[in-house]
Amino acid sequence: MEMGLCPAKDGIPLWREKKLKRPIMVQAPMSGVSDEAFRLMLLKYGAPDAFWTEFVSVDGLFSRGKDYCLGVLKHSNKLKPIVAQFFGSVPENFEKAAKMAKELGFDGIDINMGCPDRNIGKTGAGADLIKNPKLAVEIIRATKRGAGKIPVSVKTRIGYKKNEIKEWISVILKEKPAVLTVHFRTKEQMYAPPANWELAKEIIKIRDKISSETLIFGNGDVVSLAQAEELAKKYNLDGIMVGRALLGNPWFFYGKEPDLKERLSAIVEHAKIFNNLYNKKSWDRLKKHFHSYAKNFRGSKELRESLMKTKNVEDVKKVIVDFLSNLC
């Protein structure tokens, strides 16, 4: 049977019943980044063990913004297993969103309880749920009701302003999520280094006492596959979730360092995939990826500047061809 988050028994992935190589390596949900084109690039050059969507508002799914949200959730059957991540603060909407995710063919549902964005926090969602454990529990239970047998997981942080592992993580684990992914920073730390990976040991101890079947994934500042494997081994983690290190680096999960020709070819390939999926108005979203691909080699600054001016795939091809001819 192919590895995945589904099928499940009582909401727990069957990972523990199969001889799988640990640690499990997964792609993080990143708003405005981990769209379908991004995931297909990973599939082509270095697929993780599981994919995540960008996070989607459960409120938006049942509002005039429904079409946009459904667009974010759209995914290829090639991308398996794939987890839908939701955020919000209304339990009833989480239940409905979970039912929808089940109908859309997702293999798992993840609840965002870690986003530090102020606008998300103003609605009581994301990392602000750390201050409202009662609501967090209601949301997990509502999501499970809607999900049925599909595994429900949670992604969160170590606390709001300080380390609150003992109080906060215990609350989540008592609800027995299939997976708990912990970004080893507080909400107030945002993404400022360093991530506090040493706290993983305490979380593992709490997990073993409260919910031994829950898998614990670590997240924060992972820059290479070798480092990810080292961190998992050092702290006895079940898996590692990788985020920003994947930008401009679809080879990450293969542990490969591409040569210049491969890197330039990937820029064109990413542009083609994106062009086939989205309309022309979305083109500028692709440019953050161009910026990430074109770094740390001779002429990369000039290449970035040229790529930022492109408007379509043909422009990208021309920029790459011109760049290569100037190198000769």
| Residue 13: CATH number of its domain | 3.20.20.70
264 and 243 co-located in one domain: no
Measuring CA to CA, how many Å separate 132 from each of 127, 136, 171, 308? 10, 6, 11, 42
Is residue 243 in some structural domain? Answer: yes
Across the chain, mean pLDDT equals 92
Torsion of CA 116, 120, 122, 125, to 10 degrees: -90
pLDDT band at residue 328 using 50, 70 and 90 as cut-offs: low
First-last CA distance in the chain: 49
Quick check: 143 and 95 in contact, CB under 8 A?
A: yes
**Residue 112, SS3 per DSSP:** strand
pLDDT for the residue numbered 325: 87
pLDDT > 90: what percent of the chain? 88
pLDDT for the residue numbered 142: 98
247 and 272 co-located in one domain: no
Taking only the tens place, the pLDDT of each residue in 141-174 is 999 999 999 999 999 999 999 999 999 999 999 9
283 and 145 co-located in one domain: no
Taking only the tens place, the pLDDT of each residue in 103-134 is 999 999 999 999 999 999 999 999 999 999 99
Quick check: 95 and 102 in contact, CB under 8 A?
A: no
Is residue 27 in some structural domain? Answer: yes
Taking only the tens place, the pLDDT of each residue in 50-97 is 999 999 999 999 999 899 999 999 999 999 999 999 999 999 999 999
222 and 272 co-located in one domain: no
Domain boundary among 254, 287, 308: 254
Q: The whole model's pTM is what?
A: 0.92
- Given a cut of 60, is residue 1 above it in pLDDT? no
250 and 275 co-located in one domain: no
b or e along 207-218 (b: 16 or more beta carbons within 10 Å of the residue's beta carbon)? beebbeebbbbb
Quick check: 151 and 8 in contact, CB under 8 A?
A: yes
Is residue 17 in some structural domain? Answer: yes
Element (H, E) at 108: strand 108-113
- Given a cut of 70, is residue 3 above it in pLDDT? no
Element (H, E) at 122: helix 118-122
231 and 277 co-located in one domain: no
Is residue 3 in some structural domain? Answer: no
Residue (of 198, 195, 209) closest to 114 by Cα position:
195
- Given a cut of 90, is residue 293 above it in pLDDT? yes
pLDDT for the residue numbered 302: 95
Give the total number of structural domains in the chain: 2
**Residue 95, SS3 per DSSP:** helix
223 and 284 co-located in one domain: no
3-state percent breakdown (helix, strand, coil) of the chain, nearest 5: 50, 15, 35
Which residues are identified as catalytic? 115
Range of the structural domain that residue 279 is part of? 260-327
Is residue 146 in some structural domain? Answer: yes
Is residue 30 in some structural domain? Answer: yes
Quick check: 253 and 229 in contact, CB under 8 A?
A: no
d(CA 44, CA 59): 33
Domain boundary among 204, 235, 254: 254
Is residue 273 in some structural domain? Answer: yes
pLDDT for the residue numbered 10: 41
Is residue 2 in some structural domain? Answer: no
Domain boundary among 206, 224, 254: 254
Measuring CA to CA, how many Å separate 219 from each of 4, 179, 199, 245, 274? 20, 13, 12, 11, 27
